[in-house]
Chains A and B, each alone.
Chain A
Amino acid sequence: MSENSTNGGYIARDWTRQPAAYTPGYKTTVKRSPQAALLSFPTTLSEETSPVFGHGIIGELDNDLIHNFAKPGESAIGPRIIVYGRVLDETGRPVPGALLEFWQANAGGRYRHAKEGYIAPLDPNFGGCGRMITDENGSYEFRTIQPGPYPWPNGMNDWRPAHIHFSIFGHGFAQRLITQMYFEGDPLIPLCPIARVLNDQRAIDDLTAPLDMNRTVPMDARAYKFDIVLRGRRQTYFENRKEGL
């Protein structure tokens, strides 16, 4: 193995910004959270490599949730928005070629899922999923409708703020991440037991997309900006240094 093929490995995860496994305010975590400490090791090739998803897998409408499930000539119901942003790593470098998959409820707050029990109606023209691969600058953009908030069984009256789920593949499996994007100004964010698993307000703010009137398309769609930061790689000055633990 050439010594620099592992570079410096990934920077250790900052667990103060990540949620604990056991967060009883979100009740389902109580029996789904490991109790033993995680076992920490520096990354190896197994975590520094990742599957490659080519632009070839992306269909023409994969980044248009307004139309990708709609019948010809029809479109999904709800406030039309553009979500755009960049995928960066902790060192500030863009992550090109990152696969983003996103999913969300419809404008009424209902998911297209067999186990969904909310009384809000399904929109026959809305599937609720899309995907995109970042360009050479780490940028992505998609169109959708603004999802509605929805109630969920947890406390006696818990509602999720409007949100879009994101799954992200970077360049190393160590960067694998699933998170949620919230909308600036939503009064449900500070009440939400799932947002509150983060006990650092800055971490919640960093998941909250601001309205960007400059990217808004007049008479068509408002725009929200959502940047995502993945773990970064350590910079090694002595590239040929023999690496140990």
Chain B
Amino acid sequence: MAQRLDYLKESASQTAGPYVHIGCMPNFSGISIYGGDLGTTMKTGPVTGQEIKITGVVHDGVGAPVRDAMIELWQADAAGLYPSANEARGNPDPNFTGFGRSPGDPVTGEFVFETVKPGRVPFRDGRLQAPHATLWIVARGINIGLHTRLYFEDETEANSEDPILTRIEHQSRVPTLLAKKTGEAQYRFDIHLQGPKETIFFDM
């Protein structure tokens, strides 16, 4: 026997269950204890960059909308800076939180984010990544939060040199990560948990 390495083990994930909104978006659930739900507003004042709206629906393996999900979005500001305590590269837009939370609509399952088009953020080796947002999806029946990325279909040039998009083995699946432009400053990003249109999910 050798000595033991003193690492701890990450706590195991358990499903957020059907009532995740009680804990994470209580006002949405009709419980008014806090001033408002976190992540409902990503812009706290005039922001720099292009303001955009992203909508979408999470679909299950039979194509039905998942109505009890909570979707979180985390992204850089228009200059590619994260509004995070460990952002060491500069001062992010003070009126932009970078963090959004949306419940699925109780009837349609649609989620909505009013945000700005993110700037480009460097990869580990310094190459620039294409503009993207990190999405995290939890719901009843999801044992561990699903992590994916939203890229923009109209960023053709940046996407073609993105260090992650270009390294995906099954290039036919890359479109599952591209938000479609549906109007001026409007994007659509549907997520498929399972099946032929299954979204790429990440282990990062």
Question: Which A residues contact B (CB, under 8 angstroms)?
Answer: 1-2, 5-6, 9-10, 12-15, 17-21, 23, 26, 28-36, 38-53, 57, 59, 61-62, 68-69, 88-92, 97, 101-103, 111-116, 127-131, 165, 167, 171-174, 176-180, 194-195, 197-198, 200, 202-204, 206-207, 228-232, 242-245
Contacts and interface: CB of A to CB of B under 8 A. Distances in A.
B198 A194 contact: no
Interface centre among A21, A116, A243 (most CB of B within 10 A): A21
Nearest to A6: B124
B24 A51 contact: no
B146 A111 contact: no
Nearest to B133: A46
B194 A33 contact: yes
Given A165-B20, A207-B12, 9 more contacts: A32-B60, A32-B141, A36-B201, A47-B204, A49-B84, A89-B8, A103-B19, A129-B33, A176-B136
Q: Which 7 A-B pairs have the closest CB atoms?
A: A103-B23, A28-B141, A49-B84, A51-B99, A31-B61, A32-B141, A19-B143
A221 B20 CA distance: 26
Q: Is chain B's interface secondary structure helix, strand, loop, or mixed overall?
A: loop
Contacts, number: 274
Contact of A198 (B12, B24, B97, B193): B12
A175 B201 CA distance: 16
A43 B132 CA distance: 14
A243 B125 contact: yes
Interface string B38-72: 10000000000000000000001110001010001
Interface of B: 6-24, 26, 29-31, 33-35, 38, 60-62, 66, 68, 72, 74-76, 82-89, 97-99, 121-126, 129, 132, 134, 136, 138-147, 149, 164, 167-168, 173, 193-195, 198-204
Nearest to B167: A41
Contacts of A88: 8
A245 B125 contact: yes
B18 A177 contact: no
A34 B198 CA distance: 7
A21 B142 contact: yes
Nearest to B66: A32
Nearest to B129: A44
A131 B17 CA distance: 18
Contact of A62 (B33, B76, B98): B33
Given A45-B121, A49-B86, A102-B23, A231 B10 contact: yes
Contacts of B62: 31
Contacts of A128: 22, 31
Contacts of B33: 59, 61-62, 68-69, 127, 129-130
Contact of B13 (A19, A51, A97): A19
B7 A53 contact: no
A52 B144 contact: no
Nearest to A68: B33
A21 to B, nearest CB: 6
B8 A229 contact: yes
A2 B88 contact: yes
